[in-house]
Amino acid sequence: MGLEPTIRAAGGVVIRPSNAARDSILLVHRPAYDDWTLPKGKNAEHEDDADCAIREVKEETGLLCALGSLVTEVEYRDHKDRAKTVAYFFMTPIEGSFSPNDEVDEIRWAEPEEAMELLTYPRDADVVRCALESNEIPPHP
Domain ranges of the chain: 7-133
Single pTM value for the model: 0.92
Tell me the torsion sign for CA atoms 44, 9, 136, 106: positive
Distances (CA, A) of 12 to 2, 16, 35, 59, 88: 31, 12, 17, 12, 5
Burial 91-120 (b: 16+ CB within 10 A, else e): bbbeeeeeeeeebbeebebbebeebbebbe
Tens digits of pLDDT across the chain (141 residues): 557 889 999 999 999 877 655 689 999 999 999 999 999 999 999 999 999 999 999 999 999 999 999 999 999 998 889 999 999 999 999 999 999 999 999 999 999 999 999 999 999 999 999 999 986 766 666
Q: Which CATH architecture fits 7-133?
A: Alpha-Beta Complex (3.90)
